[in-house]
Each structure stands twice: as C-alpha cells, then as structure tokens.
Chains A and B, each alone.
Chain A
Amino acid sequence: MSMESTRSANSAKRSFNNNSNSASSNSNSNPSNKKKKTSQKTLGVAWGSNSRSSSRSSFSNSPFSNFGSYMVEKNRKLQNQFEAEASTSSHGGSGSVKPIFDGVSIFVDGFTVPSSQELRGYMLKHGGRFENYFSRRRVTHIICSNLPDSKIKNLRSFSRGLPVVKPTWILESVTANKLLSWVPYQLDQLANNQPKLSAFFTLKRSSVSNGASTHAPCQVNPEAEDSSLKVGTSGDTYFSEVSEPFEHSKQISGESDDLVDENSNASLVEEPANSSGKPCEVAMAVPSNIDTEDESSVKNYLQSNHYQPSALVSSNCINNQNMKGSPSSTVSEPSNQSHSTLGDPNFVENYFKNSRLHFIGTWRNRYRKRFRTLSDGFNCTSSNIKASALKTAIMHVDMDCFFVSVVIRNHLELRDKPVAVCHSDNRKGTAEISSANYPARDYGIKAGMFVRDAKALCPHLVIFPYNFEAYEEVADQFYSVLHKHGNKVQAVSCDEAFLDVTDSEGDPQLLASKIRREIFETTGCTASAGIAGNMLMARLATRTAKPDGQCYIPPERVDDYLSQLPIKALPGVGYVLEEKLKKQNVWTCGQLCMISKDSLQKDFGLKTGEMLWNYSRGVDNRLVGLIQESKSVGAEVNWGVRFKDVKDAQNFLSNLCKEVSLRLQGCGVEGRTFTLKIKKRRKDAEEPTKYMGHGDCENLSHSTTVPVATDDVEVLQRITKQLFGSFHLDVKEIRGVGLQVSRLESTENSKQGLERNSLKSWLTSASARTEELCKNNYVAKESSNQGCEGEGDETLGQLCGNSVGLSIQMDSNTSNGAACLNEVSVPPPICHLDMGVLKSLPPELFSELNEIYGGKLVDFVAKNKGKTENMNHTLRAYSHEKIEGAMKEGQAALLPSMVFQNEIPVENKAKQHIAKEVPAVSGAESFVPASGLTKTDLIPSSLSQVDTAVLQQLPEELKVDILEHLPAHRMQVFSPNVLLYPTEIPLEALGTKTAENNSGSKDFVLDNNLWFGTPPHWVEKFKVSNCLILNILAEMYYKSGSTGNLSPILQCISSVSIHQLDAFQDGWDEAMYILCELLKQYIKLKIELDIEEIYVCFRLLRRFAMKSEFFIQMYNIVYPYLQALVGENYGGNLHMSLKD
C-alpha cells in the first residue's frame, strides 16, 4: 500500500541525510533478496511436510495404484533433484576435501530455527543427505527443535532409535568444519535422562568410610577435561538453550515427568550406552568403576556448597569419563541448571545442607540443646566469679585444623601428608579450600584458596570433602571432654572453647595436658591449649602453642609476649583495622601501646578504641561464660543464584524465609526488623571466575520494622515479598539474596503478641469460635424447627443448621476481621457495622469491640435490636417455609442446591420487600441463599467462610495472603458462595431493587480475581455452576488448550450451535451477570497490551449475538464498557464492522 501513494518529499516535514544511509541499505539488499528466496522455499517445504496426511486422504483419486508406489516415486524424484542440486552447489566449495556430512542423512521434523530449507542447503553443500520423508533405512539423524509431548512419550516409535538432534549440531559442525559429536546436541527434552545434580542431591549421603574409600578411584581417573573450557561450554549450552524457549517451556511443563526420570541413578550408566559407539566401549570396560565414581561424585555434590564452583566441574568429569571417545563433547546443561536456583526447586534447602558456614552457624543451637543443663548451671555460678577477684586462670582449647583432622582421623597414613578440605577435588576448579592441615600449610596452602592454586603449590595435595556428620560427632565428643573437666565452659565454636580453671585443683598446665590427651584419645584429633590470666591472653597463648601443643603465659610475661605481637593477631583486628593502623605505622602491639586511649577512640570509635587500648596491654575483662546473645539471625545465599523470572525469585524467597524462620525458632527468638539484602550484578560485570559465584556486585538492602516480633514463616514471606518488590529489580541480575532479622526478642516474651498478630491464628481462632457459635445455633434452630419435622427430618435439620450457622459464621468472621483491622487501622464507622453480626458476637468479643468504639456500640445495638431480631426471625421463618415446600415436592434432600436454585428468584422477590424495610440486614439476606449451596459440611479453619465484605476491607496484601492460604480443594467450596451473590445483582441491574445497599459493595471482591491463576478462577466457578452456559465455558477452557485467553474459548464455543445456548431458563440473570463481569475484567486485563485479543473476542461475541438472545443481551451490556475503556486508552472507538 505504501507503493500506491507518492512519496511526499516536501510534505514529510523531516530532513534526513539520505546519502549517508543509502550505502548501508544497498548493502542490505543482497542478503534480503537471498532471504526471500529461501523463505519462499520454506513455504514449499512446509506444504510438503504437511502434505503427507493430506495426500493420504486425497489418495483415492490419484493416478497411482497405491500410496506406497506414489511415495516411492516421489522420493525417487526428490532424491534426484537433491543430487542434481548437490552436484552443482558443491562445485563452489573445495571439492577435494572430504565433505563434513559424509554419510549423514538428516530428516527435519517440524519447525526449526534455521529453516529446514537452510539445513537442506547445508547438507547439499557439505556432502550430507536430506530426506523429505522419514525412513528408518536412509535417515541417520532426526533434526528438530521441539517435539510434541506425544512424540516424547513414544520416542522409540517416533525416532526408531535414531538420534534426535538440535539443528545447532549442523550449524556448529559447519562452523567447526568437521562433524561434531551429536551427543551434546541431543534434544533437551530427551536429554532429561541424563544425570542431573538434583538427582544427586536427593540421594542419601554415603557414610564417611565409604566416601573415603571411593574417593581414590575418582582421583585416579584421568581428567581429560579442561575446566575453563567446561565453564565456557556450559555457558554456551545455556545460551543455546535460551535461544529455544519453546522447548524450554515445554520442558518446564513436563517437569514433573522429568523429575521422575532423572531420579534414577541408573541413567548415568545408561546414558553412555545411548551415545555413539566409542563411549559405550568405555562404559563397558569399567562398569564397576562407573558405579563407584557415581557414588563418590554423589558425595562430592553432597558436600558441595556455595563455595563450590567445581561441583559442576566434577560432574563434567563424570560426563567426560563416560564419553571419553568424543573429545569435543560438552557438558549437558541440565547439570548447569539444576545446580543453581534455576533448576533445583529445593535449592535453598540443599544449599544450606551443604554449607560449612551454615554448619558452624547452627552448631551453637545443637550445642545448647545438648549441654543445656551444664551451661545453665554454669551460668548461675558465673556471677559468683565476678565477686571473687582472685587470680584467675583461663584455658583456651582449640582443635588443630578441625575440618581436616576430623576427616582424616581414621587415616593414619595421611597424618603427615598435605590434606585439605574442600567441596570438590578438581585440580582446575575454583572451589575454595576451607581448611588445610599443617603439612599442607607448609606448602603455603591457606584456607580460602582456589583448589587450582593449591594444587599448583602442592600437586600431591589430597583433598577431602566435608563430612558434617563426623564434625558433629567429634564436636560433641570434644565438649564432653571439656565439660568433664570444668563446669565453666564457654563454647566459641564447634572446635574452640574457653574454660575457667581458676577453681580447679592442681596446676592448670597439667590439667591442660590431661584434657588434650583425652581429646586425642576420644576423637583421634589433636587439640592445642593456651593458659593465661584472661581470655585474650589464653587465646593468644593457644596461637603460640599450635599445633598440638600448649602454652602458658604467666602474668609477668604478658608484656614481653605482647610487645612483639603483630596487631593482626589480636582478636577483633581485621583487615581493615590492620590497614588503618599500619597507615599510622603501627605494626605490633608494643607500638599500639604507645598511642593514647583518647586518640585511639577518636580514630576508631569509642568501643574499638577502647578494645585496642585494652588488648594491646593484655587487658581483657570478659568473663568466661558470658555468651553474647546474637543480635541478628539471618540467612544469605550468594552462590548459584540465578533467576529466570519473577516466579523463580519468589519461590526462592519463600524458601529462604522458611530457612530463616527455622533458624529463628531454633534460636528461640523472634525479630522485628527485617532486612533484605540483594547482590545485584554490576552492569559491566562479567561472568564471575568462580563458577556460579556472584562476581562483581552492587549490594542493595532494604529493611522494614514491624510492630510485633515474629518468627512466623508466612509473615516473613509476606514481608520479604514486599521488601523484594521495593527493589524494582530485574530478577536476572540478582546474584545473591540475604534475609536478616534483627531486634530480636525471646519467644516467651512475644508469644502473646504473636498469637494475636499471626494471620493464621486469628483465622483459625475465628473459625473455631464460629464453629462453636454455629453449634449453638444449630441447637437453637433445631428446636425452632420442630414444626417441620415430618419431611427431610435429619437432613433438613442439618440444612437449616447449616444455613443459619453459616450466616452467623460469616457474620462473626466479619467482626473478627473488623477487630483485627482495628489493630492496624481505624475502626469502621459505627453505622457500617452489621447488626446481625454484632448481635451474634460472643460477649467477650463484643465487649472488646465496644471498647474500641468507646461504649457507643451498646447503645447502637440496643436501638437496633428489636428491629433486626424481628427481621431475622421473618427471614428465617421464610426460608424454612421454602425448604419445607421444596421438600414436599419430593425433591430429595440430596440435592439441596438444586432446590435452592429454584427458590432463589422467589426469595429474591421476598427479599426485595424486606430490604426496603430494613436495609441494614442485607448481610443476613444474602447468606440465606448461600446456605443452600454449601456442601453440607462446614469447613472450619477454612477461609472459604470469610465474609467477602471483610475481605474487601482488608489491605491488598492481606487479601492476597488469604487467597493464597486457601488450599486448592477448598476452592470449590469457596466458589459456590461467591457465585451466589450475583443472584441478587441482576435484580439490581434491572432496576427492581432499590433499597439494596450493602450487597452492592459486597460486590464480589473476589470477582476481581476472576482471571487470576491457572486455570483462572472463573473456570472452577463455572464448572461447579449449575448453569449450562457457564458449564460450557469452563469445559471449553480445557478444550481450547487452557491458554488463559478468551478468544480460543469463544472459538471453541462457536463450534457448538449457539442457539442451544439459549435453551436454559434457570439462572439466566445470574449467568448474564457473571459473564458480563468476566468480560469486563478481561477487558480491563487486556486493554493495555492486547487490544487485538479483545477485538477478536468481541467479534466472536457479536457473531454469537446474531443467533442467541442471551449473547445479544450480554453484548449490549458489555459493549459500552468496552468502548469507554478503549477510548480511555487509545483515544478512539473499536471499529466493529457489520460485514461479517
């Protein structure tokens, strides 16, 4: 069309530099021409590949004797064509070299990202074959980007055992100019049977000895891989995977199946068997080896944690060993995924399970629990010590390189060899050494070093993984020994403690050697001890004593000892402080002594200054046993954090909250201030050297304080979600997340407050109360029901009970809700309170409310009492009559909902009158019909009974919370209640109901969510509805492929004959209302971004409207709304042409 109009050079009102761009646009012309050509071909092939079925159907008219002969002929022709083309196209290339794809014959299945025609071009050019039709004999590889589920499930019958490979295989082979192994390019959907890390995670930990013995083979095995290459390639595969989101989403949808697959360890062995010949041989040659390797690698994974870049790398090692034959084989990216937050749904849990820091951090709780009595008793006496200012003797006991010596305590032969502990033993890895023994330290190996650096320093360094169970065991033994020798023990860490030995008899030095000997005998590990007059000096003495020795610093030697001591040795002097001091030319404690206290305090702050001043003189006033209460509790994950979308992140956060909540509970504290820390990748930061590490990051943090301390996981999750939202981050940039809780209070103090504040607790307590109420009412009702005993008897009674009970239940929930709201906001004005509610409140609640309203409530109730009582009475009587009538008609009590459905119109009319009289009782009215549909059981503690009016008044996040709390199976129960309100509304819409006040505002708070969730809420609602049209809609939702869009659903409906849809009378108005609401919400949802969808829907609706009275009405109601919104957003009206 643009060619029709002349170009308006003068009227375009825009001056461009035409010449500058002409060159580039000309240069573009060639490739685009080419593109045109290829894409035209694509169309041809698309027809070709689709036509198999169509030609089958039209075969009866064809001149060939049968389909088979036709296909034979066609294949022959295609082959000839291909060969002819191949001979011409390969002319251009260098003919002498053996073509890349010699002997490869591909069949392209479905849509691929380089089109099948392009692939054909490559095959032409590089000596391969291209088959248009699948044949087991001729085809060697199937190329496709995506497979439908049915084919995946029936892979054998689909592929006939041929490899199914991604098209990138061909592209990269062409790039590499040689035929690459197809194994790494196997279709992701199929690659799931390859080992994944999550599979390892779920396995049980193997025992220490097992791990140690299996460790050797793992090391012995040649490691052909280059880790840098590995990291690179895994990154590559990641990206290639990103470029195929179709598959990806498929994969996700099928994840549950996958999980089952991947859990079996056997797939490890199976996998090489799948691959081409050579690797298979390897696998056969060392079958037993593979098993052990697995095990040890499993162990590696288990021990691996966030420092642990090479967890993946070692998995690579396995992969590579399995595929030794194919040197270019790369890591399958599932392992990549599942080791980050991307793939592993239990990432947080596993992360902490395998973290050393976590072990140390949580060890204290364990210790407290185990030695509670001991330390408690001791704490009592500690105050006494203070009084007695005798000459004290403090002993500091510290295990020698705890993490290593525990692991090798059963390996005597390793005692003098350099050994280090690390998550993984890959010589090229970037895992950090967490601890090294003294022989290793002689080589210059330090904690925190990368494995590859350590190995460079000491090639025969033996690396062991963590063994947390052993650590726990040894730590317990260690403390048992200490507690045996003194009841004043202060635990510093799992391997380090102070003892106050002032009161013990005998020489402290003798005691120390005794303790050390016992420790060695029980644990098999050595410990060092320092003895001095205070904790500081004892600790410093230990430093001198190490390894496996002891040292006593008598008071008179303190000054000597300190004068040459480097400042760094002082506890509390870290890197930063050291640097600052060095700038002042202070290197030793002796030099530090010369600085006055005042100037120290000026430079480093009051506390630090004083500490430095004291420590440099060997003064330490701390008492053994004064355990510092932790100021904050938190959890932080800085490794392996990669999110694909917001959902991932939310999921991760909620897991983190769970962890933090557990820690809080473990410590017996609750906190008020919540700080969320985020590490965000810097804009220019590259992928970190450490695999899955956080790299160069900006640290962001937000915090919030709540009025009442909590450790409740749900509250934590809510708060965290809010905090997270306040960052406004792209989740893909996040590299680390930490949640810290501070302003701690011990649980006992805050228990009461918590009880009141926890959302769950008030809900449960509310429903418990209402249940009680309900029972009372049930009894009351029963007696008043005696008049209608004859029919329905039990069932009827129950029904009535339900009806009344329910209404009251809801009412009292309202009040509870209101009460709860009061804590956070202003109470609603008195006139808004529902009388029915107030009346049925339990006295204590009522008095509480009354207090809130300053006593006015009583008057108010008294004033209204007469009226409402009257009112309720009539109402109840009325509804009972109705039930009675219905029963008499022979309708079984089994179908109470049906019965009520019929009654509703009548009842509505009745209500109309009533409503005019006493508008305030609207609560009661709307609940009466509701009772009819309740499914005969009252689910206490379910939110389904919360009054919608309450919900509406709740703040948004609370509302969401409540909805989330709703278990899925409750949903159904919930929906009928909601569905019911609309019964009143059509009346309103028709203008018959004038006095309706409250119910309008009740207006279906929840209905705003009709389109939320998958499947959207309305589907459930409609499914259980007893209205035909709604049922059809819900059914069509599933039929149309559950996309969440309306137009496919409507399209499906158009296949049903529309005029049938009018064939219902019951609930016409109700259906009309709910459908209009559905449409309106849909419009609101889509108007911003997808006007096309709305347009399609309304064109379909208009088409329906031509045939259906129902749809005409609906269309007429919604259409003005639509146009108004379109006008608002687009400044125009939708053009609904009248042609079709």
Chain B
Amino acid sequence: MNLVVQRACHPQLRDYIHSAVFGLLPFIQKGMVERAAVIFFNTDGIPVERFVFKLAVNQSYGSKVEDANLEFSLRSFLIKLSVSESLTKVLPRDYRWEITAYFRSLPEASANKDVEQWIPTDTRQWEQPPLLTPIKSMSSEPLCVQLYIEHPSLSEPKP
C-alpha cells in the first residue's frame, strides 16, 4: 500500500494485538461490531484515553469491492493515524490498555469458538459524556471507519 505502518517490537505484545484484531474480523464482517476501542486506563481501571474506531460495513458488497478505492481510503486513514500523536498527552508509565469491541448484539457463545476468545470487560466508564476529537473518517463504499479519541470531560470528577 505504499505505506509505513508502526508495529510493536515485543513479540507477545504483537501477538496480542494480532490475535485481537483477527479475532474481531469475523464479527466485523458480519457487521456485528459497532465500535472497536483501544482504551488506556490507569491502575484503578479508570480510562484516560480511548481511541475509538466506529465501523459501518455495507454487507451487500460481497466480493465486488473496488480494491484500489478502498486502498486509497485506508491509506489516508493510516497516514492520519500516524500523525495524530499530537492530540494525545504523554501517559505515565504504569498505565495499561486493552482492546474492547462494542457489539451491536452479543454473539451467542456456543455458536462459534471465535466468540470464546472474547470476555466481557469491566473497565469503568466515565460519568460524564467524554470529549471527542475526530481524527479521521473514511467512507469508502463497503467500509466506513471513523476514528476519534475520547478524553474525559473537563467536569469529570478526578479520582
């Protein structure tokens, strides 16, 4: 795709990311995933930053996707992502993160072993509606992705 992509150098970390993303794939294809978020949270499990990918997949497309068009959109998306660092603050060292997917409906656990890979999360929610900073929206025909960062609202009670 003529594009530079960053990746983690720690092999296990890489595996985690890889398997999480690949685990999402069947659900995204089915259009069940509404949003996928990378949530950074502190030691108390209170999120400080969320990168949210809002997905809309047009399923009627099947195999007739125009590759180049999609590729173009994805490229611009990824480029924008790599320059979005300025929107974020440097986080302290002991923060953690996870990948969370928001499903439109909960998949039946027995139906598919892909489902078993996913467990409900207990990351805490913010009490106030967060502040959104859009990073990139792409709307290529079969796939629309919007990426935005959520930060806690200024009025959010500090822990």
Contacting residues of chain B (100-125) with chain A, CB-CB under 8 angstroms: 117-122
Complex Cα–Cα for A1134 and B134 (A): 8
Are A16 and B133 closer than 8 Å at their CB atoms?
no
Are A11 and B131 closer than 8 Å at their CB atoms?
no
One of B3, B7, B12, B130 near A1133 (C-beta < 8 A) = B130
Contacts of B26 in A (CB 8 A): none
Are A1135 and B132 closer than 8 Å at their CB atoms?
yes
Contacts of A1065 in B (CB 8 A): none
Q: Is B67 an interface residue (CB 8 A)?
A: yes
Which chain B residue lies CB-closest to A12?
B98
Kindly provide the distance from the CB of A341 to the nearest chain B CB, expressed in whole angstroms.
15
Complex Cα–Cα for A175 and B133 (A): 46
Give per-residue flags for A1087-1102: 1 if the beta carbon is below 8 A from chain B beta carbons, else 0: 0111111110000000
Which chain B residue lies CB-closest to A243?
B68
Kindly provide the distance from the CB of B147 to the nearest chain A CB, expressed in whole angstroms.
8
Complex Cα–Cα for A1092 and B84 (A): 13
Q: Is A5 an interface residue (CB 8 A)?
A: yes
Most buried by B among A11, A42, A244: A11
One of A8, A16, A18, A243 near B97 (C-beta < 8 A) = A8
Contacts of A584 in B (CB 8 A): none
Complex Cα–Cα for A1135 and B148 (A): 10
Known contacts A8-B98, A732-B64, A1093 near B93 by CB under 8 Å: no
Are B12 and A1092 closer than 8 Å at their CB atoms?
no
Q: Is B90 an interface residue (CB 8 A)?
A: yes
Contacts of B148 in A (CB 8 A): 1091-1092, 1130
Kindly provide the distance from the CB of B93 to the nearest chain A CB, expressed in whole angstroms.
7
Complex Cα–Cα for A36 and B82 (A): 14
Q: Is A21 an interface residue (CB 8 A)?
A: yes
One of B96, B122, B137 near A5 (C-beta < 8 A) = B96
Known contacts A39-B3, A1132-B129, A1135-B133, A4 near B68 by CB under 8 Å: no
Complex Cα–Cα for A2 and B16 (A): 12
Are B131 and A1134 closer than 8 Å at their CB atoms?
yes
Are A39 and B2 closer than 8 Å at their CB atoms?
yes
Contacting residues of chain A (1-36) with chain B, CB-CB under 8 angstroms: 1-9, 11-18, 21-22, 25-26, 32, 35-36
How many inter-chain contacts with C-beta < 8 Å in the A-B complex?
158
Are B144 and A13 closer than 8 Å at their CB atoms?
no
Kindly provide the distance from the CB of A978 to the nearest chain B CB, expressed in whole angstroms.
29
Contacts of A6 in B (CB 8 A): 93-96
Are A1092 and B19 closer than 8 Å at their CB atoms?
no
Give per-residue flags for B130-156: 1 if the beta carbon is below 8 A from chain A beta carbons, else 0: 111111110100001010101101000
Known contacts A5-B96, A16-B20, A25-B14, A1135 near B146 by CB under 8 Å: no
Complex Cα–Cα for A111 and B122 (A): 47
Q: Is B85 an interface residue (CB 8 A)?
A: yes
Which chain A residue lies CB-closest to B152?
A1132
Contacts of B90 in A (CB 8 A): 4
Contacts of B151 in A (CB 8 A): 1135
One of A2, A1092, A1126, A1137 near B135 (C-beta < 8 A) = A1092
Contacts of B62 in A (CB 8 A): 730
Complex Cα–Cα for A1131 and B2 (A): 35
Known contacts A5-B97, A1127-B129, A1132 near B5 by CB under 8 Å: no
Contacting residues of chain B (21-80) with chain A, CB-CB under 8 angstroms: 22-23, 38, 40, 45, 54, 56, 60-62, 64, 66-69, 72
Known contacts A2-B8, A1090-B139, A1131-B129, A115 near B2 by CB under 8 Å: yes
Kindly provide the distance from the CB of A33 to the nearest chain B CB, expressed in whole angstroms.
10
Interface of B is mostly: mixed
Q: Is B158 an interface residue (CB 8 A)?
A: no
Contacts of B94 in A (CB 8 A): 6
Q: Is A245 an interface residue (CB 8 A)?
A: yes
One of B2, B96, B132, B139 near A1132 (C-beta < 8 A) = B132
Are A1133 and B5 closer than 8 Å at their CB atoms?
no
Contacting residues of chain A (113-172) with chain B, CB-CB under 8 angstroms: 113, 115
Known contacts A13-B119, A39-B3, A1089-B137, A18 near B68 by CB under 8 Å: no
Kindly provide the distance from the CB of A938 to the nearest chain B CB, expressed in whole angstroms.
43
Q: Is A60 an interface residue (CB 8 A)?
A: no
Give per-residue flags for A1071-1100: 1 if the beta carbon is below 8 A from chain B beta carbons, else 0: 000000000000000001111111100000
Kindly provide the distance from the CB of B60 to the nearest chain A CB, expressed in whole angstroms.
4
One of B17, B118, B131, B146 near A1090 (C-beta < 8 A) = B146
Contacts of A244 in B (CB 8 A): 68
Are A1 and B88 closer than 8 Å at their CB atoms?
yes
Are B118 and A14 closer than 8 Å at their CB atoms?
yes
Known contacts A39-B3, A245-B69, A732-B64, A1133 near B132 by CB under 8 Å: yes
Which chain A residue lies CB-closest to B18?
A25
One of B5, B19, B121 near A13 (C-beta < 8 A) = B121
Are A11 and B69 closer than 8 Å at their CB atoms?
no
Q: Is B11 an interface residue (CB 8 A)?
A: yes
Q: Is the interface on chain B under 10, 10 to 19, 20 to 34, or 35 or more residues? A: 35 or more
Which chain A residue lies CB-closest to B150?
A1132
Are A4 and B93 closer than 8 Å at their CB atoms?
yes
Which chain A residue lies CB-closest to B3?
A39
Complex Cα–Cα for A16 and B96 (A): 18
Contacts of A246 in B (CB 8 A): 68, 72
Which chain B residue lies CB-closest to A729?
B60
Contacts of A1089 in B (CB 8 A): 56, 137, 139, 144, 146
Q: Is A40 an interface residue (CB 8 A)?
A: yes
Complex Cα–Cα for A1088 and B139 (A): 10
Q: Is A242 an interface residue (CB 8 A)?
A: yes
Are A1095 and B134 closer than 8 Å at their CB atoms?
yes
Are A7 and B13 closer than 8 Å at their CB atoms?
yes
Contacts of A1131 in B (CB 8 A): 129-130
Are A1092 and B67 closer than 8 Å at their CB atoms?
no
Complex Cα–Cα for A68 and B13 (A): 54
Complex Cα–Cα for A1089 and B142 (A): 13
Complex Cα–Cα for A1095 and B137 (A): 10
Contacts of B23 in A (CB 8 A): 16
Contacts of A35 in B (CB 8 A): 3
Kindly provide the distance from the CB of B135 to the nearest chain A CB, expressed in whole angstroms.
7
Known contacts A7-B10, A21-B18, A730-B60, A13 near B129 by CB under 8 Å: no
Complex Cα–Cα for A1014 and B146 (A): 25
Are A22 and B137 closer than 8 Å at their CB atoms?
no
Complex Cα–Cα for A1133 and B156 (A): 13
Contacts of B13 in A (CB 8 A): 2, 7
Complex Cα–Cα for A385 and B39 (A): 91
Which chain B residue lies CB-closest to A728?
B60
Contacts of A115 in B (CB 8 A): 2
Contacting residues of chain A (203-250) with chain B, CB-CB under 8 angstroms: 242-246
Are A18 and B64 closer than 8 Å at their CB atoms?
no
Q: Is B83 an interface residue (CB 8 A)?
A: no
One of B11, B15, B85, B120 near A1 (C-beta < 8 A) = B85
One of A14, A243, A1090, A1130 near B117 (C-beta < 8 A) = A14
Complex Cα–Cα for A246 and B68 (A): 8
Complex Cα–Cα for A1093 and B144 (A): 14
Q: Give 18 CB contacts A-B under 8 Å.
A: A2-B97, A8-B97, A9-B16, A11-B98, A13-B122, A14-B117, A16-B16, A17-B19, A18-B12, A40-B4, A244-B68, A245-B68, A245-B69, A1091-B132, A1092-B135, A1132-B130, A1132-B132, A1132-B153
A sample of 12 more A-B contacts (CB under 8 A), given A1-B85, A1132-B153, is A2-B8, A2-B13, A2-B17, A11-B98, A13-B122, A40-B4, A115-B2, A243-B67, A730-B60, A1091-B134, A1092-B135, A1133-B153
Residue ranges of B at the interface with A (Cβ–Cβ < 8 Å): 2-5, 7-20, 22-23, 38, 40, 45, 54, 56, 60-62, 64, 66-69, 72, 85, 88, 90-91, 93-99, 117-122, 129-137, 139, 144, 146, 148, 150-151, 153
Residue ranges of A at the interface with B (Cβ–Cβ < 8 Å): 1-9, 11-18, 21-22, 25-26, 32, 35-36, 38-40, 42, 113, 115, 242-246, 729-730, 732, 1088-1095, 1126-1127, 1130-1135, 1137
- Listed from nearest, the 7 A-B pairs whose CB atoms lie closest are A1135-B131, A8-B96, A1092-B137, A16-B19, A730-B60, A1095-B134, A1132-B130
